Amino acid sequence: MVANLAEKHFISEADYLEGEKISDIKHEYIDGEVYAMAGASRKHNIVSANIARLFGNHLENTPCATFIADLKVKAEGDFYYPDVLVACNDDEGDDYYTDSPIIIIEVLSKSTRRRDKVTKMNAYRTIPELKEYVLIEQNQVDVEVCRRSNNWFSEHYFLGDEVTFESIDLTLSVESIYQRVNNEDMQDYLQKLQSEKTES
Q: Which of 23-37, 74-88, 139-153, 166-180 has the lowest mean pLDDT?
A: 23-37
Domain of 125, CATH number, reads 3.90.1570.10
pTM of the predicted model, to two decimals?
0.90
What pLDDT, in 10s, does the model give residues 88-111? 987 777 889 999 999 999 999 888
Please, which residues have CB within 8 angstroms of residue 10's CB and are 6 or more apart in sequence?
32, 33
pLDDT in tens, 31-62: 999 988 877 899 999 999 999 999 999 999 99
Q: Between these two residues, 109 and 169, which has the higher pLDDT value?
A: 169
Number of domains in the chain: 1
Q: Does residue 122 surpass a pLDDT of 80?
A: yes
Query: Residue 69's pLDDT is what?
Result: 84
Torsion angle defined by CA atoms of residues 60, 164, 90 and 35, in that order, rounded to the nearest 10 degrees: -120
pLDDT at 65: 95
What one-character DSSP code corresponds to residue 116?
I
Q: Is the pLDDT of residue 6 over 50?
A: no
In a domain, 165, yes or no: yes
Q: Is residue 78 part of a domain?
A: yes
Q: How confident is the model at residue 5 (pLDDT cuts 50, 70, 90)?
A: very low
Question: Is position 195 within any domain?
Answer: yes
26 domain residue, yes or no: no
Which pairing describes strands 33-37 and 101-108: parallel, antiparallel, or unpaired?
Answer: unpaired
CA-only gyration radius of the chain, Å: 17
Residue 143 lies in a domain: yes
Domain containing 71: what range? 40-199
Q: Is residue 17 part of a domain?
A: no
CB 173 within 8 A of CB 39: no
